[in-house]
Structure 1
């Protein structure tokens, strides 16, 4: 679909019911495709009737696959399939056959394929929302080696008809020289490196009058840095993307959260589980991608976020999220044993009368103690004792229970808080 002056394509302004129907129609096809073409998901989703996965409720019953599980499968299958059976494409001599244009390596190492589709990572939508247009020159300072960030931005820019200068990372002086001489309209990269470039240009008297917009990612983009860039005449926007999934959500001119991409199905679940939380509750971002080359079904990102109510004032009708709010994996070692968020969630699941819960680990190392704070409106007699017994059964450790009124615990997705003294 062709872009309009305001939107990347007509998908962005669909009626929400129409979008949901389209996503739920695509979902069973993607599940069936993953089962048939991805050996990993053939095993993970064994016994699942793909034709029945036609709603979010049905999707929520499927297992969540997290990055450490993907890594372990890749490690065990390195001799014949570096993608661990998750990709449906590859190259000669690989289980996936042909179809991969590039292969990348992220820390782990985890290997990710890039297929032949135009704008494979779907970054064009985020660039468009940040003001990039056909004919712009984009200075890209994301890495072009090992990890896919540079290619993610470049392929999205090419989909818009932009020209790209592949600056990569480092070489600040050379990159500044290129900016001064090539006069790019936009920047793509981390916000911190853009600040380094801008500050260095000011120190050396270099003028960058053409640079007026930026799409940043890969790290936090605090309001103070946004204002600093604005003072230099640069409007910076952020997007949320991963090497596994491509674009997940992007910022718009409204500056109110991030709008979900049209090519993914996003759930917010209670950390350590696959259970969706209510809109507004902070939880882990779990994504099902409609990418046929790397069909990740319920992939746990490990990132925390929450759904924002209402629609984007720009007219985009997809769901918005608050952006990155931290990491979901709060695994903590207590008295020599690991305690996982999933265990805390299991304790809460055993007692449905509870609201939010938070396990606080206090004291000093080797003399630490656990205290589980639980919300309950009308605590039945003996509740604290029963919850304490669940703590012992699930974690094999003893812990106290503190019952607090509903709304007492913060809505930040945190199930475990390490409040010990380390000094």
Structure 2
């Protein structure tokens, strides 16, 4: 079995940049041809979008916009063409929001995820992701097909039947949520069955170090993948287990939550993804997840950028004094003042009353001078504290809710 899934994983930085420069203009042009992008990309010259830096000038697309567009314009909201013969599935996620799916050429790009943990043609994968409405089951099914593995389409639940099938068929690999594998293994022990599972690829939840170690103690190598229903695979772990390597079919940016502005390298921010899938050309799609770029190259030899993994949610909307305060509003407050580099809203309680404190990184000025801007941007009055530039934590949090409700 080859160490790498394909040659894309070991491209030089110059080659990857050249490939991006060739692919991006065509992808932006595809997006512009779809009615969903009419208002956001109509004035964009596709030929000029040849780098990640150029992408940063384009609008952010949020999942809420997909839902709104789908209610108005049909199941895919004008962001994909349902008549496209490459689209063979329509999935439903909570909302409801609908996503297209295809079966050609590892459409979701999960082959790379399974290959990284060593799954190949000699394996039978027990796929414990749901095949019902949501795309997770098909994502890992197509990935297994891409590496030549056979699949037991187990879905979720019915643990005794899962154990019976795994024992009878001799499944060697698991795909599913991190904790469900333990349930299967524990049930197998209870039933007196010895399973042959030695590899696991997991997602859809946190893989805690203690759980990974428990699997290792049972002779199972367990690595994580990171993806979404809209985008497919975004990043994955390799045997080095140092961060997550960006998938070769997407471009990832880390931005200040509520904005499209890239953060400094290493700072925590929201994950934005531009997909290079021609059938579903999402551009600067906001995942709502927080992460940070991990400097350097993976010891495994793969050369693409790495992120630190899932570090929380960027949607930090909080209701304060009966009003919603959103990250976009905090970003608008910062944009009003050239000397302000960052702001942070802190929600606390005093007695039975909400208190809003706004910390503002500024090179100077009277706290009260920002009062009108705070009220205008956040629609609330609050306490204002001026702090020195660089004083606020670089943790991606712009709205910190410190209130306790227990």
Shorter-chain TM range is over 0.9
Partner Cα distance (1:156, 1:365) in 2: 54
The answer for the alignment partner of 2:11 in structure 1 is 14
TM-superposed CA distance for 1:365, in Å, is 8.6
Of the three residues 382, 389, 396, the one matched with 1:399 is 382
Contact 1:63 1:298 in 2 (8 A): yes
TM-superposed CA distance for 1:405, in Å, is 4.3
Deviations 1:227-284 (CA, angstroms, capped at 9, x unpaired): 1111111110001011100000000111110000000011111100111111111111
Contact 2:103 2:142 in 1 (8 A): no
Say if 2:367 is the partner of 1:380.
no
Say if 2:170 is the partner of 1:177.
no
Say if 2:83 is the partner of 1:65.
no
TM-superposed CA distance for 1:129, in Å, is 0.6
TM-superposed CA distance for 1:310, in Å, is 0.3
1:304-323 mapped onto 2 (5 Å cutoff)? 304-323=290-309
TM-superposed CA distance for 1:338, in Å, is 1.1
RMSD over aligned Cα, in angstroms? 1.6
Contact 2:135 2:229 in 1 (8 A): yes
Deviations 1:159-209 (CA, angstroms, capped at 9, x unpaired): 11100000000010000111111111110000111111112222332211x
Of the three residues 73, 76, 82, the one matched with 1:83 is 76
Contact 1:351 1:387 in 2 (8 A): no
Of the three residues 182, 185, 199, the one matched with 1:198 is 185
Q: Which runs of 5+ in 2 are unaligned?
A: none
Partner Cα distance (1:69, 1:24) in 2: 27
Partner Cα distance (2:66, 2:313) in 1: 18
Say if 2:130 is the partner of 1:147.
no
TM-superposed CA distance for 1:406, in Å, is 5.0
The answer for the alignment partner of 2:204 in structure 1 is 218
Partner Cα distance (1:255, 1:43) in 2: 42
Of the three residues 226, 231, 236, the one matched with 1:250 is 236
Contact 1:185 1:212 in 2 (8 A): yes
1:284-323 mapped onto 2 (5 Å cutoff)? 284-323=270-309
Say if 2:18 is the partner of 1:25.
no
Say if 2:372 is the partner of 1:389.
yes
TM-superposed CA distance for 1:356, in Å, is 4.1
Contact 1:375 1:403 in 2 (8 A): yes
